[in-house]
Amino acid sequence: MSQAAPRLLISAGEPSGDLHGARVVHALFSRYPDASIDAVGGPRMAAEGARVRFPIEPLSAFGLLEVVHKIPAHLQLYWELRRSFRERRYDLVILIDYPGFHLRVAEAARKYGIKVLYYIAPQLWAWYPGRARRFSRAVDRLAVVLPFEPAFFARVGLQAEFVGHPLVDQGPALSRHQARVRLGLPAGERILAIFPGSRVEEVRRLWPLFRDAGLRLVREGRCDRVIVAGVPLGEYSGAGPIEIRYDDSPAVMSAGDAALVKSGTTTLEAALADTPMAVAYLTHRWSYEIGRRMLSVPWISLVNLVAEREVVAEFWHPPLRSEMLADAVWPLLDPADPRTIAQRAGLAEVRRRLGSPGAAERVVAIAGELLKG
């Protein structure tokens, strides 16, 4: 392989992967100015100089029906990539998240002798530990973003390196004062921030629960203002005095004294903003029963998983009621409450464990090791 002018493919299947991929592309060109970089990606990777051979827009889908409609696009892309691998067009393939599709791409690349670096591992440790061995056979190296992941993948013989979480590279969060000034909010109010999700289906399920918890706190005088980080296609019926902000979710997170947050990466964003939180997720009853039996970790929130202890309260076991969420979050609106102080100490530990900035540069360093070999 030519390390001076390597030929690389970097693939992301959705907008978040395009963002992470853009940082990797930037770091790759900094190290290899003459590199040839093709991408399955979007506008962010293109802006950094990658040649987007396959745009991600035909791939992105949410919901069962939409996924079914996207199957032909995925199949066409898979066969195009497989043909490229057979022709040995690349020295190295870098795959970002998007595990269902990328596992098959990795297997195809390895079949034709092309090395594979996987960035942002699928959460096999939570749901599918048995599938980790298949994954380990398809991937040469793994760059992980959660500190407990290397030990898990080492058990199946896969070399995984913690590179830090890419959220850290976004820079320090706004202070509470800065966020409130930006949003035009009073300094002295007790403000609850609500994050019911970024996908329409998540909002549909969680909004009534989160809404009723927020309204209860306002009605009982335990909160002065509730603000929702809204998404354009989300429906927020019955909001009443609750404000929906569509333009600046990082500021909404930092402005809140506390937050109600759906499980997922948003919990880490709250930790980085030092915003105390309660975490909830709601699924269909049958999905819960299946998930409860498959789950192989003690918590669903990334904050607790990173801390390796319960830092934030989690709610996902039915029956789930809005008053449970209200009772969990209202003490956190008071910065002097011992529960708030204790949680903030835990969030500080989470921030420390997420690593320092420079995740993309560490990914490129691993890529350089693979290119040498």
Kindly report, residue by residue over 177-235, the tens digit of the pLDDT: 999 999 999 999 999 999 999 888 889 999 999 999 999 999 999 999 999 999 998 99
pLDDT at 68: 43
Q: Clarify whether residues 100 and 77 are in a common domain.
A: yes
In one letter, which amino acid is 289? E
Classify strands 191-195 and 225-229 as parallel, antiparallel or unpaired. Answer: parallel
pLDDT at 253: 98
Q: Clarify whether residues 123 and 203 are in a common domain.
A: no
Q: Clarify whether residues 77 and 147 are in a common domain.
A: yes
Q: Clarify whether residues 130 and 235 are in a common domain.
A: no
Q: Which residue bears the tokens 């293109």?
A: 46
pLDDT tens digit sequence for 141-162: 999 999 999 998 888 888 899 9
CATH assignment at residue 114: 3.40.50.2000
What domain range includes position 198?
172-353
Nearest one of 16, 24, 206, 224 to 117, comparing CA atoms: 24
pLDDT at 157: 84
Three-class SS state of 54: strand
For residue 181, being part of any structural domain is answered with: yes
In a 10 Å sphere around its CB, with 0-12 CB exposed, 13-18 middle and 19+ buried, how is residue 88 labelled?
A: exposed
pTM above threshold 0.85: yes
Cα–Cα distance between 263 and 270 in angstroms, integer?
A: 11
pLDDT tens digit sequence for 243-273: 999 989 999 999 999 999 999 899 999 999 9
Q: Clarify whether residues 361 and 242 are in a common domain.
A: no
Number of structural domains (the chain) is 2
For residue 2, being part of any structural domain is answered with: no
For residue 207, being part of any structural domain is answered with: yes
Q: Clarify whether residues 161 and 98 are in a common domain.
A: yes
Q: Clarify whether residues 261 and 339 are in a common domain.
A: yes
pLDDT tens digit sequence for 296-323: 567 889 999 999 999 999 998 778 899 9
Q: Clarify whether residues 51 and 39 are in a common domain.
A: yes
Is the pLDDT confidence value at 64 over 80?
no
Q: Would you list the DSSP string of 56-77?
A: STTT---SHHHHHHHHHHHHHH
Omega of the bond prior to 72 within 30 degrees of 0, cis?
no
Q: Clarify whether residues 84 and 109 are in a common domain.
A: yes
Is the pLDDT confidence value at 65 over 80?
no
For residue 343, being part of any structural domain is answered with: yes
pLDDT at 2: 47
pLDDT tens digit sequence for 85-95: 999 999 999 99
For residue 62, being part of any structural domain is answered with: yes
In a 10 Å sphere around its CB, with 0-12 CB exposed, 13-18 middle and 19+ buried, how is residue 141 labelled?
A: buried
For residue 287, being part of any structural domain is answered with: yes
For residue 195, being part of any structural domain is answered with: yes
Is the pLDDT confidence value at 45 over 50?
yes
Nearest one of 207, 205, 201, 226 to 215, comparing CA atoms: 226
Q: Clarify whether residues 246 and 140 are in a common domain.
A: no
pLDDT band, residue 130 (cuts 50/70/90): low
Q: Clarify whether residues 258 and 135 are in a common domain.
A: no
Cα–Cα distance between 284 and 213 in angstroms, integer?
A: 20
pLDDT tens digit sequence for 326-359: 999 999 999 999 999 999 999 999 999 999 999 9
Q: Which residue bears the tokens 């990334």?
A: 302
Residue-averaged pLDDT of the chain: 90
The more confidently predicted of residues 163 and 171 is: 163
Q: Clarify whether residues 178 and 152 are in a common domain.
A: no
For residue 157, being part of any structural domain is answered with: yes
Poorest-pLDDT segment among 105-114, 117-126, 211-220: 117-126
What's the rounded mean pLDDT across residues 160-172?
Answer: 95
Which element (helix H / strand E) includes 284?
none
Sign of CA dihedral 151, 152, 153, 154: positive
pLDDT band, residue 126 (cuts 50/70/90): low
Nearest one of 278, 22, 13 to 170, comparing CA atoms: 22
**In terms of C-beta distances under 8 Å and separation of at least 24 residues, what long-range contacts does 269-275 make, across chains too?**
269/167, 270/195, 270/303, 270/347, 271/303, 271/347, 271/350, 271/351, 271/354, 272/167, 272/168, 272/170, 272/173, 272/351, 272/354, 273/173, 273/174, 274/173, 274/344, 274/347, 274/348, 274/351, 275/193
